A and B are shown apart, each in its own frame.
Chain A
Amino acid sequence: DAGVIQSPRHEVTEMGQEVTLRCKPISGHDYLFWYRQTMMRGLELLIYFNNNVPIDDSGMPEDRFSAKMPNASFSTLKIQPSEPRDSAVYFCASSLLAGTGELFFGEGSRLTVL
């Protein structure tokens, strides 16, 4: 398996623009997590899905953030409108079992909002 695949790897955009980050989890994994990493706050969970259903979105910072998982092999994290403080690295991770399963991370999407 190719592992967790994220795109784009890098995105630079202007404030106010819509940003869409994409993730393809490892086939067969039924948990998908979106994390954000910043220098100030480290790694933070934004939202996670189990079997394509959002389970915990309490980490989503604002209504400007939304995440979907239309099927088992694809998820998106959307920011609309984007702001400079959204600049961060966004990681997607998947696992087979949330409680006891090993976590596999994508390479991350580095977002810069000017």
Chain B
Amino acid sequence: KNEVEQSPQNLTAQEGEFITINCSYSVGISALHWLQQHPGGGIVSLFMLSSGKKKHGRLIATINIQEKHSSLHITASHPRDSAVYICAVRRASGSRLTFGEGTQLTVNP
């Protein structure tokens, strides 16, 4: 079993829909990252969380440390949100990031 599990692996939505991507992990962590990778390949850090909730524009990320679970929400989705979203956790000891396999999101107009 991977230390970081994302679901779903693939998600297709219509423009305007509310989207949720989930991430579960099995190790103690100091931080959790949500990353976005566009078809061009570049990776952008969306959020870094150690507790609670963060919001940036239409994106919201939450984390429940006790349940070892995080969610990334996109409100009013848009075709430009189409990308791979990757969850990564930084272990409580050390600085290594362990990555989930990513969620491929496609938002159709």
Q: How many residues of A contact B (CB 8 A)?
A: 25
Q: Who on chain B is nearest to A45 by CB?
A: B96
Report B-chain residues with C-beta under 8 Å of the C-beta of A70: none
Interface of A is mostly: strand
B1 to chain A, nearest CB (A): 15
CA distance A103 to B95 in the complex (A): 11
- A42-B102, A43-B86, A99-B90 known; A104-B95 Cβ under 8 A: no
Q: Is the CB of B43 within 8 A of A105?
A: yes
- A102-B45, A105-B44, A110-B41 known; A31-B95 Cβ under 8 A: yes
Q: Is the CB of B42 within 8 A of A100?
A: no
CA distance A31 to B88 in the complex (A): 17
Extra 17 A-B pairs, beta carbons < 8 Å, given A43-B88, A105-B35: A31-B95, A42-B100, A42-B101, A42-B102, A55-B95, A56-B95, A59-B96, A93-B43, A100-B48, A101-B48, A102-B48, A103-B45, A103-B48, A103-B97, A105-B44, A107-B42, A108-B41
Q: How many residues of B contact A (CB 8 A)?
A: 22
Q: Is the CB of A48 within 8 A of B45?
A: no
Q: Does B107 contact A (CB under 8 A)?
A: no
Interface of B is mostly: strand
What are 6 A-B contacts with C-beta separation under 8 Å? A42-B99, A99-B31, A99-B95, A100-B31, A102-B45, A103-B48
Q: Does A53 contact B (CB under 8 A)?
A: no
Q: Who on chain A is nearest to B33 by CB?
A: A103
Q: Is the CB of B48 within 8 A of A48?
A: no
Q: Does B50 contact A (CB under 8 A)?
A: yes
Q: Does B94 contact A (CB under 8 A)?
A: yes
Q: Does A60 contact B (CB under 8 A)?
A: no
Q: Is the CB of A45 within 8 A of B97?
A: yes
CA distance A105 to B33 in the complex (A): 13
Q: Is the CB of A56 within 8 A of B96?
A: yes
- Contact residues of A between 45 and 61, Cβ < 8 Å to B: 45, 48, 50, 55-56, 59
